[in-house]
Amino acid sequence: MKFFAAALTALISLNAFALEVGDQAPAFELPASDGNTYNSQDFIGKQAVVIAWYPKAFTSGCTVECKSLAMNGHLIEEYDAAYFMASVDPLEDNTRFAEENDAKFPILSDEDKTVAEAMDVLIPVIGVASRVTIYIDIDGNIAFIDDDINPATSAEDIAARLGELNTPKA
């Protein structure tokens, strides 16, 4: 068991760093828990984007992170940034997950895993996304990649990072 945990940690760490700050963010068009489809091109030149990738809906850490964003999303909304959680779970699962956690923000579903792979957050061995938050600036470039996530303070941490990145206030 210790070997599996160490191997998984190594895979997550290696995987999250292939995409680098300054790179053009991979394009995405993904369905969301709110019934809309979000396209990255719609934000370029208009608004920063934050995508909080998570491994699996209804698991303990992911539920804690979703609740943090649901309860403290107002802190993120002080900035001119769209924010999402995202996973490779089916849309139906993410929709139920959003409803059960009172998420007022969209949860994106990347069922075919192409966006997670392009953003270097997919853990191929187990087929889920790493817990990584990706910050995309108004020009569509990677502004920051955070792989040191505390699910309980995710909203506060995202808001603080947006401030550090000089994201304009809403």
62 is catalytic: yes
Q: Kindly write down the DSSP assignment for every residue of the chain, as one continuous string.
A: -HHHHHHHHHHHHHHTTSS-TTSBPPP-EEEBTTS-EEEGGGTTTT-EEEEEE-S-TTSHHHHHHHHHHHHHHHHHTTBSEEEEEEESS-HHHHHHHHHHTT--S-EEE-TT-HHHHHTT-EETTTTEE-SEEEEE-TTSBEEEEE----GGGHHHHHHHHHHHTTPPB-
Catalytic residue among 51, 62, 88, 159: 62
Report the catalytic residues.
62
